[in-house]
Structure 1
Amino acid sequence: MLGVTEEKRQVPKMLQKFLQYDIQITKKFVDGALQNTALRSLRNHAKFLEVSCHGIVWLAGWLSFIWLFNNKDLYQLQVNMLIALILDIVIIAVVKAFVRRRRPVPMNKLSALGPDKYSFPSGHASRSVLVAFTLMYLSPVSIIFYPPLLAWVTSVCLSRVLAERHYFLDVFAGCGLGVLEGLLMALVWLSQSTSASILSSLSDEKLDGGEYHV
């Protein structure tokens, strides 16, 4: 049986120093943000922003969206976004389990949906970037939605630091993973016909008429 000292992972000194800089820079930023009205206001809205990009909320909400809106024009986005959300949850969980970086202490208790104990990378950052990437590049919405979408992504990412959920490195890594996940989705993006077939098999109904197969 391994002792406690043997179970602890040995972190290289260079990496320890880099992580310590990350902690110091994050702390200075949070302390300075309290003196800035706009950033202080963003911190006050951190709970709403956390819920707005929570994995469970997005997954349940998107499944409801698929169930409620039976529109051929939406099938491709509905199926591919669902795959992207599941992919993001799996990747973030695996990376967090491997890295096991602890969250900032003390950590604010913002939500009953409240977080796991690991900090790196930020799932909220990766998810927000992935959603924006999908809606701006893979399945573009009207350009009038770009500014609020980008504002939401920026606010979510900054709020994770201001609310002391994550360090800067966690958020940057999350953003990077969100882009990589988006690029991966671009490679495996399902066609309209494939998406319609998937929804048809899941519902066991004809999507166009709602009639049962015979």
Structure 2
Amino acid sequence: MTKKQKSETSTRERILVAAMTMFGENPGTKLSVRSVAARAGVSTGSLRYHFPTQRALQDAVLATIYDVVLPDDGIHDESTPARERLLGCLRQVLAPAGVGKQAREATSKVFHTFIDPEPNGETRAAYFAIAGEAQRRTEYWLTVLASEGAIAEGDNTRRARFLLTVLNGLSLERALPADESILASETSTLRAAVDCVFDSRTW
């Protein structure tokens, strides 16, 4: 590796560290070019060289978080069939909601925080930060599978919205009374959603 390549690598890493730090301090931050460049101690031109767009920077930050900081989602484990990997990732999203009383408490908290009160700037920003991260992470999983050829190239934003809508419904269902095993019916629904994503005719 040449001295120039080493310098470019360290500059890129400094930018990523600065952006990740800012993201950690405020997950709703927009990671503007100027603010990240200032935090990293580099020029905006240097940042633009490594990350031509704000989305490129954001994607690199999230990829670093998901691959390095939170590597246990299993999306890269090619020893497991792609459908099962995506199913496992979706189950991880549902896991924190729990079932029964825990699910009711979580749903009640969401209702009282984001639905019941008149929305203001602060609650809207908080909700969009949470929803945006969920959308980006789901898109990331789909991008990984598409890069492997496991799913057809397509509109991953639309696919992710569909999967998140299914997850939102299942989260609510966990809080409601059920006359059968919620986990059995949930698995059936998740498999149907995954099958739909893998069907190239749909997208």
Q: Under a length normalisation based on structure 1, what TM-score does the superposition of the two structures give?
A: 0.29
Q: Which structure is higher in RCO with an 8 Å CA cutoff and minimum separation 6?
A: 1
Q: Under a length normalisation based on structure 2, what TM-score does the superposition of the two structures give?
A: 0.30
- Pick the structure with more helix per residue: 2
